[in-house]
């Protein structure tokens, strides 16, 4: 790729939530000297908030994805469907699986996270990882096919007590009950279990939200095994705490997030789990021409939850700082909000929510989530079709 000397090459790797938000802002207000490129594995980027709704069949897969093609057109960005597999930091180039290396002046990584699989025997061979999110729907669909082929006689387990795994389990339970009823079968042959190493489910949520989810799991006959660290996985069973065997036919693996292994060879400063350590201006602590946002970023001195909500919040400050870098102006700090709204869907058009320590639940909360999620997706579609109609956001100064 060549550029005129006056141009500043900004390369975005990964169509994660923060990059989608940043592209939208560049589309509303283009930066004249900025030459933008997005490298992403797939043109369609999943929106995590709606994925459990796709599993439960409240949405089609298309409804829960954002098409990066019109978004890139809007932002004047080149779209490169490829996978970054390395970085040449000295020569400022992204190494791709297929294309020739892509040069940058500023680089931003928003590549999400993967499920931590590495250390436990049998995990890679016998489980369905719930991350990365661009592969989760296909994997769950394959598992659903196997369960239906067994005519609904299956024990289904989720390993991990976080919101992603619990939402997936509740959505899948709802969907399988409908599938089996449509096939003239009942769902009494299905059994569900959540297995977590910790003493609580959803430790990052307030106690009120945890109690509500625990009650719902009980009402839905989902067994919960706390203080149960999976130490080995075999075909058809897991071993917990080194001694007890639990029979499970399908195992969804949703433990702590980990970073893509290829980052370890780049020379970027990483934290112990391989995430890119960033300053409050979202720049790598070791390489100021590299930014990292969303799950892949590790904020120095503050551990933010790995969630789509926080990833999205990084979009406007990232766009602002990339713009400022192109303009040669000082960068500004990102101050993430302490309190965010969490809405956890339970598969049956019902939601448990929490904000500022308060918790609530109901069908009305599902309708709120549905409206927020659909409006979010729609904001990208209408932006791509009619950029002139969008308000100029104050955050993108």
Interface with ligand FAD by CB under 6 A: which residues? 13-18, 39-42, 45, 48-49, 51-52, 83-84, 110-112, 130-134, 136, 164, 167-168, 260, 294-296, 306-309, 311
DSSP state of 56: T
Determine the Cα–Cα distance for residues 18 and 317; give it in Å rounded to an integer. 9
Cβ-in-10-Å burial (0-12, 13-18, 19+) of 374 comes to: middle
Q: How far is the CB of 334 from ligand FAD (least distance, A)?
A: 14
Looking only at the bridges linking them, the beta strands covering 237-240 and 244-247 are antiparallel
Q: How far is the CB of 368 from ligand FAD (least distance, A)?
A: 13
Contact 192, 169 (CB under 8 A): yes
Question: Which residue's structure tokens are 């999620």?
Answer: 373
Instruction: Compute the C-alpha angle 159/192/231, nearest 5°.
Output: 30
Element (H, E) at 133: helix 133-149
Closest among 337, 332, 283 to 312, alpha carbons compared: 337
Count CB-CB contacts under 10 A for residue 14. Answer: 28
The smaller minimum CB distance to ligand FAD, of residues 83 and 249, is found at: 83
DSSP state of 30: -
The smaller minimum CB distance to ligand FAD, of residues 42 and 392, is found at: 42
Q: How far is the CB of 389 from ligand FAD (least distance, A)?
A: 26
Determine the Cα–Cα distance for residues 102 and 341; give it in Å rounded to an integer. 38
Beta pairing partners, 217: none
């Amino acid at each position: 790729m060549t550029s005129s000397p006056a141009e500043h090459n900004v390369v975005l790797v990964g169509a994660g939530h923060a990059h989608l938000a940043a592209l939208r802002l560049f589309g509303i207000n283009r930066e004249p000297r900025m030459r933008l490129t997005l490298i992403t594995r797939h043109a369609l980027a999943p929106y995590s908030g709606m994925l459990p709704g796709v599993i439960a069949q409240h949405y089609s897969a298309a409804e829960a994805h954002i098409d990066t093609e019109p978004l890139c057109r809007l932002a004047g960005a080149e779209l490169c469907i490829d996978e970054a597999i390395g970085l040449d930091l000295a020569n400022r180039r992204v190494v791709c699986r297929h294309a020739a290396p892509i040069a940058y002046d500023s680089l931003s990584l928003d590549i999400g996270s993967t499920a931590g699989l590495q250390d436990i025997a049998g995990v890679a061979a016998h489980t369905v990882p719930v991350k990365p999110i661009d592969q989760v729907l296909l994997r769950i669909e394959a598992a659903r096919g196997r369960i239906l082929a067994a005519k609904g006689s299956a024990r289904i387990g989720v390993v991990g007590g976080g919101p992603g795994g619990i939402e997936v389990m509740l959505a899948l339970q709802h969907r399988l009950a409908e599938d089996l009823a449509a096939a003239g079968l009942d769902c009494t042959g299905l059994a569900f279990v959540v297995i977590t190493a910790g003493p609580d489910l959803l430790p990052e949520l307030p106690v009120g939200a945890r109690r509500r989810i625990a009650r719902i799991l009980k009402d839905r006959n989902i067994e919960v095994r706390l203080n149960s660290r999976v130490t080995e996985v075999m075909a058809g069973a897991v071993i917990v705490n080194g001694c007890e065997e639990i029979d499970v036919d399908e195992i969804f693996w949703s433990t702590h997030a980990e970073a893509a292994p290829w980052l370890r060879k780049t020379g970027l400063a990483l934290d112990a789990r391989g995430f890119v350590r960033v300053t409050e201006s979202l720049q790598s602590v070791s390489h100021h021409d590299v930014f990292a946002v969303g799950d892949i970023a590790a904020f120095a001195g503050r551990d933010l939850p790995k969630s789509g909500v926080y990833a999205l919040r990084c979009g406007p400050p990232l766009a602002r700082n990339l713009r400022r870098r192109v303009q040669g102006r000082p960068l500004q700090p990102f101050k993430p909000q302490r309190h965010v709204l969490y809405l956890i869907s339970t598969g049956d058009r019902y939601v448990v929510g929490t904000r500022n320590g308060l918790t609530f639940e109901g069908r009305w909360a599902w309708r709120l989530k549905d409206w927020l999620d659909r409006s979010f997706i729609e904001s990208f579609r209408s932006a791509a079709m009619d950029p002139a109609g969008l308000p100029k956001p104050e955050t993108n100064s």
